Amino acid sequence: MSAPGQAGGVRRWLRPAAQTTYERIFGTVYVGLMTNVLLAAACAPLLAALAILRDPWASWPFFLALSPLCAPALTGAFACFAALGEPGAAVVLRPFLTGYRRGGGRAALVWAGGAAAVAVLAIDTAAVWRTGWGPALVPFFATAAGLVIAVTVALLTLLAEGEPVRLRACLYLVARRWYLAALNVAALGLAVTVVLARPVLGVLLLGAPLLYLVWATTRFVLAPLLPAHPQR
């Protein structure tokens, strides 16, 4: 390429971006930060308990019973992510409240069922661990727990979109794309680890980025169940 051509290419790369590009970037950052704040407010009882108790694992039944409070908050966050493509996407409170109400009690029931199933699998793992054949069953229990978590998130995603709960279809789609489900479980595991270590700070810093990854991946997995244009 000639020198004038190279100079023209450099000028094109260095040319300032359009104003709409900057507005979209800052709007996305704003939505992420405000979603974190709303998540922290909606999950305040759980975060307060985590901040007070030094060893959450020792009181896991209490946190298991309290955790369904987070389910409507997740559907609210998912609704905020879905609204990013709309005009005026920097609006956060309205889509969050819409998703929160849309999920509501059904989201809490789905979460409670998933949490109970994971708890049973964890107890079974601890019970068979000390037996001679126990370690051979650990991969089964871990896979089953990961599947339960991924299907629970898929059901919450459907609720956030205003779609009916379709357990069998979600189970099939999640199992078909198991590698994406594993990615979601890893992201959620990282989020839980950070929140257990620093409850409020973890939600305010990493809540939206990790949940957006989980939501986008899950929505791709559930594409056959969702309309071509997401319901806002």
What's the pLDDT tens digit per position in 136-182? Answer: 888 899 999 999 999 999 999 999 988 888 999 999 999 999 999 99
Question: What range defines the domain where residue 149 resides?
Answer: 18-225
Reference 36, options 225, 216, 212, 224; nearest CA is 212
Domain membership flag for residue 186: yes
Measured from the Cβ of residue 35, the count of other Cβ atoms closer than 10 Å reads 26
Domain membership flag for residue 195: yes
Domain membership flag for residue 4: no
Enumerate the H helices of 161-198 as residue ranges: 167-176, 178-197
Q: How far is CA 54 from CA 50, 174, 204, in A?
A: 7, 35, 20
Residue 110 banded pLDDT, cuts 50, 70, 90:
very high
Q: How far apart are CA 84 and CA 211, in angstroms?
A: 14
Q: Tally the domains of the chain.
A: 1
Domain membership flag for residue 167: yes
Domain membership flag for residue 187: yes
Residue 86 banded pLDDT, cuts 50, 70, 90:
low
Q: What is the pTM (predicted TM-score) of this model? A: 0.84
Q: Are 161 and 232 in contact (CB under 8 A)?
A: no
pLDDT at residue 87 tops 80: no
Domain membership flag for residue 34: yes
pLDDT of residue 14: 47
pLDDT of residue 12: 52
Q: Report the amino acid identity of residue 187.
A: A
**Which of 64-68, 72-76, 126-130 is the most confident on average?**
72-76
Domain membership flag for residue 6: no
Domain membership flag for residue 60: yes
Q: DSSP character for 196?
A: H
